[in-house]
Structures are given as C-alpha cells and as structure tokens.
Amino acid sequence: MKPDWEILKTLSDPTRLRLLSLVEKEELSVAELQEILDMAQSRISSQLSILRQSNLVSDRRDGKKTFYSLNTNIPSQQLQLFKAALKTVEGASELTDDQDNLNRVIARRRKKSEEYFNLIAGRLGKNYCPGRSWESIGHSLLYLVPKIKIADLGAGEGLISQLLAKQAEFVYCVDNSSKMVDVGTELAKKNGLENLQYILGDIEKVPLEDSSVNLVILSQALHHASHPETAIKEAYRILAPGGRVVILDLKEHTFEKARELYADNWLGFAENKLHSWLKNAGFESAEVSTVSKEENAPYFETILASGLKL
C-alpha cells in the first residue's frame, strides 16, 4: 500500500474519485463503467490501473470480462481519506448523474434476468438448462430430512420443491420472476401441495423471518445473483440453529455465451470460492465437491456445497 500522501494524490483526480464512488456501491465491468461515466474505454482502463496499483480497487476475472470493486482491505486511515474526499464532493452534479446511471445499469441487469425466466416459465423442465441433471439433483436430496421447513431460493418453477413437499412440513419457493411464481403456484395447486408456497422475492433479500427454516436450497441460482455471497449470508440468516444450506451450481467455466443464452451473471464458481463464502457467512462443516460433468461441449461441471448453522 502506498503512503498516505500518495493516496491523497490519487484521490485528487475527479475521474478516479468518481470510479471509486461507483465501485464502492457495486462490482462493475469496464463496459458498465464506460456507459455510466460516458467516457472512452482507454481513459477508464488507465484510471483503473492507477487505482489498482494504489490497492484501492480489486479486480475479478470472469471469463473474458473483468469486474472491479472497492478493495475490502484498505487500511482504515486511507479509507477515511477516501470517505472524506467523497464527502467534500457529495453534492456534485456528476456524482448525482453517476448514481442515476448506475441505477439504470443495475435495473437492466435484473430486468434481463427476469425477462429470461419469464420467457421460459412453464418450459424449464423440458428445455436444456446447464447443470440441471437428475444426477446432481439426486446428490442434493441426500440431505433431505422429513418433516422440516425448507426454503428453495431462486426456485424457478420449483421442480425440486415439488418433490420435497411430498414429505416436508412446509416448503417456501422464492423467485424474482413473477411468471415463475405464477406457474409454480399453479403446479402446486394442480398437484394438491398445500404445504408449498411460492413467494416473489430476491435471494439477496429473502422475504422470510430469521431462523424460520431448517433447510435452504440454492439449486443453479447463485450464478444468476449479482452478489452470490450476500445470498449465502441470507441463507444463514433464515436458517434455524442446526439447519443446513445445500448449494448446487456450475463449476467455474469459460463458456461466455451462457451470459446471453441463460442470463447468467457469473460463469460458475471455483470450489475454494464457495467454501470461503460459506465460512465467511458463519457456516460450520462446510463441504464443496464436484458431483457431475457433462459429456458434451461445453462440458459443464456441477458442484455441490453444504454448510451447517450451529
């Protein structure tokens, strides 16, 4: 980390301060920053390079894209310098415009995901969906304990929950697609599952009470989240002591077309990353392993992760 006077010099540039203000709020790609600031890519990349050298921002590669966020390990004194610099210009019209443009970028992300799932609602079990195999689903069912309360986050139509509800005490299916919720509700009614409720909501802000369920399932949902680590923390919050989270998702891959084909925000996850997020959320006995690999290109692999809330 550079000395404080060097950090002050770095913060003196308006563009760099605007970039820091944005990546403090949201992890963003260069293309998104270019759109928000209405600046050339070369200029933004140059300023990000300076911020990275000063250890003020962190970068994350995801396929061909690089995402930037505020470094979480900035020393407190230098973080205070950044906060003070931001405070002095908080009323600037540029920052207000930046916030408006950021809101539009985030809203478009969510709309893109919602439109995709509204489009395929009612057809999800019939069409190809990467990582959705009965082999991998079978692994998750090994954790089933009868007569418990379950939350299926990012449930879609709730194909897994339809099975679990036959033995569970109650199952909540949470999804941010209104069409998926409508389709799932009709399926539950058709199958006579009175202990299965569909709820419109975000897996990063789950509309359930603290310590209200015994099992949380995140099946092929995390890679659609903007902040997967937040979703895992939410799983911990709604679990009662002794409860377990079970995650099925794609292993880290490089199939870029998944973003357009399946509205994926993340190109899967490394096993170590999922394990770290589980531990950071407070889960004990965290386990992560690869449970299946598809035989055809792009050879998606599925990972199973679990953790226990003591």
The pLDDT of residue 129: 61
Q: What is the pTM of this model?
A: 0.68
| Selected residue with higher pLDDT from 129 and 4 | 4
| Spatial contact of 191 and 171, defined as CB atoms under 8 Å apart | no
The answer regarding whether domain 134-308 maps to CATH 3.40.50.150 reads yes
> What are the backbone dihedrals phi and psi of residue 79, each rounded to the nearest 5 degrees, phi first?
-65, -40
Between 145 and 286, the more confident residue is 286
Give the confidence band of 140 by pLDDT, cuts at 50, 70, 90: low
Residue spans per domain, the chain: 4-110, 134-308
State yes or no: pLDDT of 200 exceeds 80.
yes
Is the model's pLDDT at 138 over the cut of 60? Answer: no
The pLDDT of residue 33 is: 95
pLDDT at residue 105 is higher than 50:
yes
Tallying the residues shown for the chain, one arrives at 310
pLDDT, average across residues 112-133: 64
Q: What is the structure's pLDDT at 136?
A: 63
The mean-pLDDT minimum among 92-96, 132-136, 293-297 falls in 132-136
Task: Tell which CATH architecture fits domain 4-110.
Answer: Orthogonal Bundle (1.10)
Q: Which residue type, as a one-letter code, is found at position 53?
A: Q
Supply the pLDDT for residue 139.
Answer: 52
pLDDT value, residue 68: 94
- DSSP sequence for the chain: ---HHHHHHHHTSHHHHHHHHHHHHS-EEHHHHHHHHT--HHHHHHHHHHHHHTTSEEEEEETTEEEEEE-TT--HHHHHHHHHHHHHTTT-HHHHHHHHHHHHHHHHHHHHHHHHHHHHTTTTTTS--TT--HHHHHHHHTT--SS-EEEEET-TT-HHHHHHTTTSSEEEEEES-HHHHHHHHHHHHHTT-TTEEEEE-BTTB-SS-TT-EEEEEEES-GGG-S-HHHHHHHHHHHEEEEEEEEEEEEBP---TTHHHHH--SS--B-HHHHHHHHHHHT-EEEEEEEEEE-SSTT--EEEEEEEE--
**CATH topology agreement for domains 4-110 and 134-308:** no
As to burial, measured by CB atoms within 10 angstroms (0-12 exposed, 13-18 middle, 19+ buried), residue 83 is exposed
Q: What are phi and psi of 267, to 5 degrees?
A: -90, 65
Is the pLDDT at 190 greater than 60? The verdict is: yes
pLDDT band (50, 70, 90) for residue 142? very low
Count CB neighbours of 139 within 10 A: 18
Question: How many Cβ atoms are within 10 Å of 258's Cβ, its own excluded?
Answer: 22
pLDDT at 107: 83
Q: Is the pLDDT of residue 204 over 50?
A: yes
Per the CB < 8 A criterion, the answer to whether 196 and 165 are in contact is: yes
Query: What's the rounded mean pLDDT across residues 55-69?
Result: 91
